[in-house]
Structure 1
């Protein structure tokens, strides 16, 4: 991936993250502000609804007004008015829109002298705004009620001053805006970090893909070059018989076989990356399966003057993909034979216990350095710098082995054999 494309992709990730975070913070801020504002005004509205439904309170206001106008009535228990709440006010209106309880309002009457009666939304709470004698704006929550059977009073209006609430809401809004700005700056930093973090696996994947293509090209080119050279050599000697050129033909066929195997392995890895391969699991008798696989290797080891020991537990039947496990063990046995010298020992152990099928393939060969044990499962990795095909192979066998183990939900581990060599331990869950 070139730098320009990488920067463009990273900028796109940054922009997407920034927009996402900004949208979340904005929506969250609006929701919080709306909830706080609503909850604050709910208390005021509740008080207004309570007063509007309190008949005794309303009657007292009417009686007080009538007394102040000289219409003396027997008030009884309302002789002593309830304490006045400075934030709550009551205005009594005539049909013509005149304020009738000017005496009860006292100095606050001048705050309402510019107020006009509105009968459009009776018994509904609304916001009203007026100006006091000093031309300052005043905010109220108000509810207006229609009064019947009264000589002068036609409407009664209950008001609650909301200036302190408005101030609180404004301060909360300012704090919320400051917090959103701070979190917005944090979201920019976080978006930058996430864009870099999101690009990391993409770049790693791209790098692995490049390495895969380069290594695959190298591995494919070498046998093709050898085959081409050998065939061109045959054209220089048209009179030679097949017997005379049998060595050249045999070498070409050997390279063709190597090329065919490499192509199959590359195709397997490519299909495993795309998750297009599925396991074909079936019940298999473990010991019969292993004996069929191991006995030819035991004969081969004997021919190479190597000791080959088979240690199998009791015969049991478990379910796995016979073809893939066969391929897995072939890869491990080939490596064990390849890196074991004549006179040395290879041991294959198998047992089923504690709900696991355990397989160990141990050899007393050259072993693997500790720092290379994890790297050997990477594609095209070869511990030998010489990249000798007779010993190093193509470097994709153990990558395929790791994939087969993972597909069976198993584990593979490399340890040292005492006194030297390598032990490959496999563990598969028995279901």
Structure 2
């Protein structure tokens, strides 16, 4: 992936993350602010509704006004008036819209002298705005109740000053905005980090894909070049018989077989990457299955003067994909034979214990260095620097082996054989 495309994709991820975080913080902030503001004002409105329905409180306000006007007996020491809230005010209105309890309001009367009686929304909480004697704006929540059977008093208006609440809401709003700005800045840094983090596996995958294509092209080019050369050689001797050119034809056929095997392996790896392959698992008697796979290799080892020992435990039935496990064992046995010399030994061990099928393939060959034990499972990796295809193969066999093991939820590991050589250990869960 070129730098310009990588940068463009990273900016794209950055903008997506930033917009997502900003949207979340904005929506969350608006919801929190709206809930806090509503809950605070709701408590005031509930108090007003409660007082408007409290007949004892309303009657006390009427009697108190009548006493001040000398129309009712004075309050005795045994009467307990309802508690008075400094933020709450009660205004008694006449039918003409005049304030009746001016003397009771005292100095607060000047705060309400510009207030007008409104009877449009009786028994409902409304917002009221007025100005005091210093021309400062005052905010109230108010409810107006009509009064019957009273000569001078026609309406009672209950008011609660909401300026302190408004100040609290404004301070909360400022704090919320500051928090949103701080978290917005943090989201920018987090978006930058996430965009870089999201691009990392993409770049790794792209790099692996490039390496895969380059290595595959190289491996395909070699047998094609050989086949082309051999075929061109045939044209230089048009009068030769097939018998005379049998060696050239045989080498070409050998390269064709190698090319066919390579393309099959490449197709398998490509389909495994796209999850297009599915396993066909069936119950299998493992000893019978292993004997069918191992006996041809035992004969081949004897023909090459190599010891081939088979140690199979108790025969049990295990569920797996016969075709893939057969392919796995062929890959491992081919490597074991390839890297052992005449007079050396190969041992295959199998047993089922503790709900696990264990297979060990040991050889006394050249072995694998510790620092290369992980690298050998990478595609197109070969330990031999000469890259001799007759000994090193194409370097994708163990990558396929690892995929087969992992698809069976198993585990593959490499250890050293004493005194020399390599042991491949396969662990398969038995379900």
TM-score, scaled to structure 1:
0.97
1:347 alignment partner, SS class? strand
**Structure 2: where are the runs of 5+ without partners?**
none
Kept after mapping to 2: 8 A contact 1:48/1:142: yes
Deviation of residue 82 (structure 1)?
Answer: 4.3
Kept after mapping to 1: 8 A contact 2:145/2:157: yes
- Rounded Cα–Cα distance in structure 1 between residues aligned with 2:102 and 2:291: 111
- Rounded Cα–Cα distance in structure 2 between residues aligned with 1:326 and 1:80: 98
Write out per-residue CA displacement over residues 91-124 of structure 1, whole angstroms, 9 at most, x where no aligned residue.
1112222111111110001001111122222222
- For 1:20, the equivalent position in structure 2 comes to 20
- Rounded Cα–Cα distance in structure 2 between residues aligned with 1:81 and 1:27: 47
- Rounded Cα–Cα distance in structure 2 between residues aligned with 1:292 and 1:178: 75
Kept after mapping to 2: 8 A contact 1:147/1:155: yes
Kept after mapping to 1: 8 A contact 2:413/2:424: yes
- Rounded Cα–Cα distance in structure 2 between residues aligned with 1:331 and 1:121: 89
- For 1:214, the equivalent position in structure 2 comes to 214
1:5 aligns with 2:5: yes
- For 1:32, the equivalent position in structure 2 comes to 32
Deviation of residue 39 (structure 1)?
Answer: 2.2
- Relative to 1, partners in 2 of residues 1:11 and 1:164: Cα closer, same or farther, differing over 3 Å? same
- Rounded Cα–Cα distance in structure 2 between residues aligned with 1:339 and 1:157: 102
- Rounded Cα–Cα distance in structure 1 between residues aligned with 2:116 and 2:225: 101
- For 1:390, the equivalent position in structure 2 comes to 390
Deviation of residue 67 (structure 1)?
Answer: 2.1
Q: Which moves more between the two structures, 48-57 or 81-90?
A: 81-90
Write out per-residue CA displacement over residues 120-151 of structure 1, whole angstroms, 9 at most, x where no aligned residue.
22222222211111011111121111212211
- For 2:253, the equivalent position in structure 1 comes to 253
Kept after mapping to 2: 8 A contact 1:60/1:78: no
1:124 aligns with 2:116: no
Kept after mapping to 1: 8 A contact 2:67/2:74: no
- Rounded Cα–Cα distance in structure 1 between residues aligned with 2:322 and 2:167: 77
- For 2:330, the equivalent position in structure 1 comes to 330
- Rounded Cα–Cα distance in structure 2 between residues aligned with 1:219 and 1:212: 10
Deviation of residue 305 (structure 1)?
Answer: 1.1
1:427 alignment partner, SS class? strand
1:186 alignment partner, SS class? helix
Alignment size in residue pairs: 431
- For 2:352, the equivalent position in structure 1 comes to 352
Deviation of residue 56 (structure 1)?
Answer: 0.7
Structure 1 segment 369-388 matched on structure 2, within 5 A = 369-388=369-388
Structure 1 segment 189-228 matched on structure 2, within 5 A = 189-228=189-228
- For 2:55, the equivalent position in structure 1 comes to 55
Deviation of residue 332 (structure 1)?
Answer: 0.5
Q: Which moves more between the two structures, 95-104 or 261-270?
A: 95-104
Structure 1 segment 279-298 matched on structure 2, within 5 A = 279-298=279-298
Structure 1 segment 24-423 matched on structure 2, within 5 A = 24-73=24-73, 81-423=81-423
- Relative to 1, partners in 2 of residues 1:69 and 1:243: Cα closer, same or farther, differing over 3 Å? same
